[in-house]
Amino acid sequence: MSAPTEAPPVQMVLCAYPPAPARVGLVYQPVPGRAIKAILSLVVFWGIAPYTFIVPPHYPFPVLCLCTGGYLAHLFWTGRYRVRWFVGQCPRCGGHLRMAMGERISLPHTVPCLACHFEPLLEVQEAAEAPAPEPLRHVRPECTGAWSEEWMWDERFLACGTCGARRPATPEMRRLAFAENERGALLRQLTEEGRYLN
């Protein structure tokens, strides 16, 4: 059974710039699981380090085992969340920020911007600062019920097949798109039935 995905209200923050919007889906990694993985990586790599003295050259392999064990233990222990999806903008230049699926992070987390080379911080918004959820809007008002999920690079989006509008595929946006698709199907059915009445 997979752990549930949380979507906390987050924003991208950079000193001297107004906060930029961001959305992230996180899976919490429980403490016992993180501790077991960290201890296991230390035991395995530090356990084989003495036996690597046999392999010439004798110096680099034990050091490599010790460093690898320490690095993996640090990686498993410090990552409180695993990223399922992420969409965010840089507060300075407005460029899209990228974070790999499956990356282990703790909040707040630094995300480098590849456009302006600054490093904004992904942090949780205060409840009073959190904006109301934005509605699902099309580019053209006559579009209804044409939303589908698309992958662009490693991020999931909702895209309208008629007008080309794109929105981040958050759970709330998926729910709104599914409801609109149902209304659009009903509207198309009523339109087809109305043609025969004329």
The tens digit of pLDDT for each residue in 6-58 reads 888 899 999 989 999 899 999 998 999 999 999 999 999 999 998 988 888 87
Inside any domain, residue 157: yes
Which residue among 124, 156, 180 closes a domain?
A: 124
Q: How many domains does the chain have?
A: 2
| Burial class for 16, CB neighbours closer than 10 Å (0-12, 13-18, 19+) | exposed
Average pLDDT over residues 88-105: 91
Shared-domain flag, residues 113 and 65: yes
Q: How is the chain split among helix, strand and coil, in percent rounded to 5?
A: 35, 25, 40
Q: Residue 169's pLDDT is what?
A: 77
Give me the helix-helix angle, 31-48 and 60-78, nearest 10°.
180
Q: Are 112 and 154 part of one and the same domain?
A: no
22 with 59, same domain?
yes
Task: Supply the range of the domain harboring residue 30.
Answer: 10-124
CA distance linking residue 4 with residue 25, whole number of Å: 10
* Phi, psi of 153, rounded to the nearest 5 degrees: 60, -115
Evaluate whether 88 touches 25 at the Cβ level (below 8 Å). no
User: Is residue 143 within 8 Å of 160, Cβ to Cβ?
Assistant: yes
Residues 117 and 154 in one domain: no
CA angle 190, 192, 194 (to 5 degrees): 65
**Model pLDDT for residues 112-124, shown as the tens digit of each residue:** 999 999 999 999 9
